[in-house]
Chain A
């Protein structure tokens, strides 16, 4: 069974640009969550999607958004990129929000120049 797949693995952008990251959950998993990992702030929750609906949102500005498709695949978008957005963005999936555990992908490393 394939794990959580995130694409691309690496991205380099400049300030002011926007970026879209993709996540394919484990087959059969319908809940997808996104996390940001930085050396200074650690692992922080961004948002959670289930049945194409955002159920939870972390304390991030509106420049961070996401969506989920009918096949449970998810995308997150960051607009007007800032230097501080440089991070590892991780996606995790679970069967449903209340049906743990969550399994993580290997992330997308986003670097802002």
Chain B
């Protein structure tokens, strides 16, 4: 019940296109859903996060869509750029249970110029 399933495993997009990564969770106690971006040799960096009281959150070119009833959330990267090429992780946690993040398996995004 602690799992977070992420898809696709890898994604290739043309410059200027939209990248979409999906995640699904099982634990209904999860109430905080961040997305992290990781470049080789670096730690994960927080991109954007959402809580279940809203269905969508946008920050620049990055948007999280959240469907509480389906227990799914997704990351949309608009106008994808070669510099966005990285590994993206979704995660989930229950804030009342401390800082334990449960991560998805990761998506390797390649944006071709």
Residues in chain A within 8 A of chain B (CB atoms): 4, 31, 33, 35, 42-45, 48, 50, 55-56, 58, 90, 92, 94, 97-98, 100-107
Contact = CB atoms under 8 A, between A and B. Distances in A.
B28 to A, nearest CB: 18
A58 B100 contact: yes
B89 A94 contact: no
Contact of A104 (B36, B96, B102, B104): B36
A103 B44 CA distance: 8
Given A42-B105, A42-B106, A100-B34, A106 B42 contact: yes
18 contacts: A31-B98, A42-B103, A42-B104, A43-B89, A43-B103, A45-B102, A48-B98, A56-B98, A58-B100, A90-B43, A100-B34, A100-B49, A100-B99, A101-B34, A102-B34, A104-B36, A106-B43, A107-B43
- Lowest 10 A-B CB distances belong to which pairs? A104-B43, A43-B103, A97-B98, A106-B43, A56-B98, A97-B99, A98-B95, A33-B99, A104-B44, A101-B46
Contacts of A55: 98
A48 B100 contact: yes
Interface residues of B, number: 25
A96 to B, nearest CB: 9
